[in-house]
Amino acid sequence: MNWEVVIGLEAHVQLSTISKIFSGSPTRFGSAPNTQANAVDMALPGSLPVLNHGAVERAIRFGLAIGANISPRSIFARKNYFYPDLPKNYQISQYEIPVVLGGSLSFLVDAQPTTINLTRAHLEEDAGKSLHDNFPGPHGEASTGIDLNRAGTPLLEIVSEPEMRSAAQAVAYARTLHNLVVWLGICDGNMQEGSFRIDANVSVRPFGQKEFGTRTETKNVNSFRFLERAILFEVQRQIELIEDGGKVVQETRLYDSDRDETRSMRSKEDAHDYRYFPDPDLPPLVINPEWVAQVKASMPELPQQLSERFANTYGLTQVDTLQICNNRETAAYFEAVVAQLAGNQGKLAANWLNGEVLAALNRDNLDMSSCPVKAVQLAALLTRIIDGTLSNKIAREVFAAMWVGESGGEPDAIIETKGLKQINDSGAIDALVDGVLAAHPAIVQEYRAGKQKAFNSLVGQVMKAGQGKANPQQVNDALKRRLDS
């Protein structure tokens, strides 16, 4: 059975306002419990919500950045359910008419350009936190502690269409979204502190089937690594379950990183009846065209625009620029590198950034701001490729050494220390070629007999003899000269 994976992601993004969405309490992270929760956040009798302008402004910015529609009139609704970290026992959210509708995100997955459409984005309030240590209750019973500092922090819930078909795509989408909200300055992106959380809706269906399979929701994943693991586990679990004759149950699950598995949360059958209705305490949110224009005018150059600019200026393709332009720091890095290179070396810089640099960052779980190789250093390395001192292959060796800080990360020093200079001297290359031809008469025979593959084999031998430092073009030419004479 060929299975197709269907994934939709919901991101809960904490907006970077200094006060909460419906109260004047601070949003700072890490304070002593309940010292940042006022009467409104604690839902004391008689308290009322008032909406924060800054939260709306950030939602508008996001909507513009993804090419979505900003609803001129959106409604806040109450989502009613009982939970101890939800002080009113309803969450103020948006239901039928959210502030942002539509939009899309484009990014690369394994060098393939991909565009995922978004369904909507809406404003809502975050809940407090439950601490499950065994505190002593009023009768001495083991109790959970509730901290409402986080309750009322503004969230933008961003919902994608269920268009992703692999964990890799989902992770790439998530990273792109994360980069964007940080780029726009609407979220600090700190996943350890819970500023950016993902819920993954996962289902499987036989290839070709039109209907979606039953989906599960894995909630509150706060790292890209865990997101990938959770999706992979869930897909596997669902497939095995179905193939064993079982049925996937629509439910909420949590990812357990210690065991690398997803677990069903306590089933809340009645949790599906949220009894949404427009919040009578909050009249409709009106966003007029003037406000949207104002926000648009104050926006930084967007990834898409930057991407086009780079493509035009440096003659690059979308494949080249998409990844670079999804992150402000990466884009700045790119520009810094090309600025140091003579002529238009945009393609070379883009290849290296999209290739070696990003791969190394991912591998070491770093972001661009912590990249150990500075733009000026990479530019120096690329200069050595351009001037023929290094082949691409050897350059990668040098890069690896720069990454771990050998010789202070300076390419020339590393080349010197490791003796990696490319051999460009024709005399030296001729000598290598002669040596190989003499040592491998059988392969020479094969070549003369018409086997083209034998030529490649000889090239390989010469490269080996020269420890990879021989200029590959010159090796090719020299071999041809010798063999065809």
Partner 1 sequence: MTQILKDFPSIASLRSALDERKISSVELTQTLLKEVAAQNELNAFVDLNPELSLAQAKAADQTIAAGQAQILTGIPIAHKDIFVTKGWHTTAASKILKGYKSPFDAHVVEQLIQAGTVSLGKLNCDEFAMGSGNEHSAFGPAHNPWHPKVVPGGSSGGSAAAVAAGLVMAATGTDTGGSVRQPAALCGVSGIKPTYGTVSRYGMIAYASSLDQAGPIARSAHDLMLMLDAMSSFDPRDATSIQNCRGVANQNGRIKQDFTQHSQRIEKQGAKPFSGLRIGVPEEYFGLGLDDGVAKAVTAAIAQFEALGAQKVSISLPHTRLSIPAYYVIAPAEASSNLARYDAIRYGHRTEQYTDLADMTARSRSEGFGAEVQRRIMLGTYVLSHGYYDAYYLQAQRIRRLIAEDYQAVLGLKCDVILGPVNPTVAPPMGEKNQSPTAEWLADIYTLSLNLAGLPGMSIPCGFAPGFDGQALPVGLQLVGNYFEEGQLLALAHHFQHATDWHSRRPESATGALV
Partner 2 sequence: MAITASDTARIAKLARLHLSTDAQQQANTELNQIFDLIAELQAVNTKDIEPLAHPLSMIEEVSLRLREDTVTAPGGPIERDALMQNAPGQHEGLFLVPKVLE
* Length of the chain, in residues: 485
Classified as helix, coil or strand, 69 is: strand
Q: Which partner in partner 1, partner 2, none is near 407 (CB below 5 to 8 A by kind)?
A: none
Tell me if 5 sits within 8 A of 202, measured CB to CB: yes
Give yes or no for residue 273 binding partner 1 (CB under 8 A): yes
Residues 109-168 that bind partner 1 (CB under 8 A): 138, 146
**Candidates 273-281, 435-443, 453-461, 463-471 — which segment interacts with partner 1 by CB under 8 A?**
273-281
| Partners of 100 in the β-ladder | 70, 121
d(CA 219, CA 14) in angstroms, rounded, equals 16
Phi and psi (nearest 5°) for 90? -150, 150
Tell me if 24 sits within 8 A of 38, measured CB to CB: yes
Tell me if 14 sits within 8 A of 54, measured CB to CB: no
Output the smallest distance, CB 88 to partner 2, in A: 13
d(CA 180, CA 484) in angstroms, rounded, equals 57
**Candidates 61-69, 130-138, 351-359, 401-409 — which segment interacts with partner 2 by CB under 8 A?**
130-138
Pairing of strands 252-256, 216-221: parallel
Q: Which partner in partner 2, partner 1, none is near 468 (CB below 5 to 8 A by kind)?
A: none
Among 6, 13, 37, 375, binds partner 2 (CB under 8 A): 37
d(CA 316, CA 339) in angstroms, rounded, equals 16
| DSSP-assigned letters across all residues of 387-406 | TTSS-HHHHHHHHHHHHTTG
Tell me if 379 sits within 8 A of 373, measured CB to CB: no
Handedness of CA 319, 323, 328, 331 (dihedral sign): negative
Among 193, 243, 281, 416, binds partner 1 (CB under 8 A): 281
Among 44, 293, 400, 439, binds partner 2 (CB under 8 A): 44
Give yes or no for residue 50 binding partner 1 (CB under 8 A): yes
Give yes or no for residue 195 binding partner 2 (CB under 8 A): no
Output the smallest distance, CB 251 to partner 2, in A: 13
Extract the tokens encoding 282.
């909050």
Give yes or no for residue 257 binding partner 2 (CB under 8 A): no
Cα 386 to Cα 87, 221, 246, 354, 392: the distances in Å are: 63, 44, 60, 18, 10
d(CA 249, CA 447) in angstroms, rounded, equals 64
Which residue's structure tokens are 């109450």?
A: 78
Q: Which partner in partner 2, partner 1, none is near 156 (CB below 5 to 8 A by kind)?
A: none
Give yes or no for residue 89 binding partner 1 (CB under 8 A): yes
Classified as helix, coil or strand, 272 is: helix
Among 244, 273, 290, 484, binds partner 2 (CB under 8 A): 273
Among 10, 29, 42, 367, binds partner 1 (CB under 8 A): 42
Give yes or no for residue 48 binding partner 1 (CB under 8 A): yes
Q: For residue 184, what is the DSSP state? A: T
Give yes or no for residue 460 binding partner 2 (CB under 8 A): no
Give yes or no for residue 45 binding partner 1 (CB under 8 A): yes
Output the smallest distance, CB 139 to partner 1, in A: 8
Give yes or no for residue 28 binding partner 1 (CB under 8 A): no
Among 124, 126, 147, 356, binds partner 2 (CB under 8 A): 147
Output the smallest distance, CB 42 to partner 1, in A: 6
Q: Which partner in partner 2, partner 1, none is near 484 (CB below 5 to 8 A by kind)?
A: none
d(CA 279, CA 291) in angstroms, rounded, equals 24
Q: Which partner in partner 1, partner 2, none is near 46 (CB below 5 to 8 A by kind)?
A: partner 1
For partner 2, the binding residues (CB under 8 A) are 17-19, 23-26, 31-39, 42, 44, 50-56, 73, 76, 82, 84, 89, 130-132, 134-138, 141-148, 254, 265-266, 270, 273, 275, 278, 280, 282-286
